[in-house]
Chain A
Amino acid sequence: GAVVSQHPSRVICKSGTSVKIECRSLDFQATTMFWYRQFPKKSLMLMATSNEGSKATYEQGVEKDKFLINHASLTLSTLTVTSAHPEDSSFYICSARDYTYTDTQYFGPGTRLTVL
C-alpha cells in the first residue's frame, strides 16, 4: 500500500508555544489530506480536510485559528497547533487520499503531542 509519513512522532512543548506537524505522502500525490485527533482507546475524530491549493475545511467545533492547516503541495500538509495548552495534548493522525487505483485513505503513524 501507499506510504504516509508524519513528523515528528513525539513532541513536548511548553504551554503558549506553537507546534508544527508535517504529513507527507511518499509515493503518491494527495490533493486531499485529513487531520484527526484521537484520545486513548477512542475512535478517530476528524478535525479538518486539507485541500491542496485551497483553504482547509474544518469540522464543527474545531477552532480554525488554533489548528492552522496548510496544504502547500501535492505531497505535504502541515498542522500547526498555535498557543498550545495542556488540553491540546493528544495523538494527532493524518491521512492522505490516494485517488489512483483503489481511491483509499492511507494513514500516517501519528504524532504524540504533550503540552506542559
Chain B
Amino acid sequence: AQTVTQSQPEMSVQEAETVTLSCTYDTSESDYYLFWYKQPPSRQMILVIRQEAYKQQNATENRFSVNFQKAAKSFSLKISDSQLGDAAMYFCAYRSGFTHTGKLIFGQGTTLQVKP
C-alpha cells in the first residue's frame, strides 16, 4: 500500500523569505501523480501544484515550486517570497495512475506560520 509522510508538523518562515516543506512517499508503482494542497483557516482545500511522475521537470506555479526526486521518493514544496496569505496547513497527496477511482492518499499535513 502507498503511504505519504510529512515529517514536519509545524514550520515557520519570515515574510518575504523562502521555506521548504518536506514530503516523502512510498510506492512500488511507476505511474502516479503527486499534489500539494493548501488549507487556510477557512478550511477550503486549494490545489497548489501537481506533478506527474513521468515528467522529469519540476512543476512550478508562480512562487511555488517542487523538488521531485523520484528515486528518493521525495516531493518537497518550496515557497518563495512568502506572504502572510501563505499561512495555512499544507498537505502532500499521492494518486495512483493505475486505479480508476483516482482517490488521494494524504500526508499528515504541515502547518505553516508566516511571521511579519
Contact = CB atoms under 8 A, between A and B. Distances in A.
A41 B43 contact: no
B39 to A, nearest CB: 9
B44 A104 contact: no
Chain B interface size, under 10 / 10 to 19 / 20 to 34 / 35 or more: 20 to 34
Given A93-B45, A107-B44, A102 B50 contact: yes
B34 to A, nearest CB: 12
Interface stretch (B11-19, B76-84, B101-109): B101-109
A103 B97 CA distance: 11
Interface residues of A, number: 23
A30 to B, nearest CB: 11
Given A32-B101, A57-B101, A43 B109 contact: yes
A110 B109 contact: no
Task: Classify the secondary structure of A's interface with B.
Answer: strand
A4 to B, nearest CB: 10
Contact of B102 (A44, A97, A107, A109): A97
B60 to A, nearest CB: 15
Contacts of B42: 109
A43 B108 contact: yes
Nearest to B107: A43
A25 interface: no
A34 B103 CA distance: 8
Interface in B86-116: 89, 91, 101-104, 106-109, 111
A46 interface: yes
Given A41-B109, A46-B103, A104-B50, 11 more contacts: A32-B102, A34-B104, A41-B89, A43-B91, A43-B108, A44-B45, A44-B106, A105-B47, A105-B104, A107-B37, A109-B42
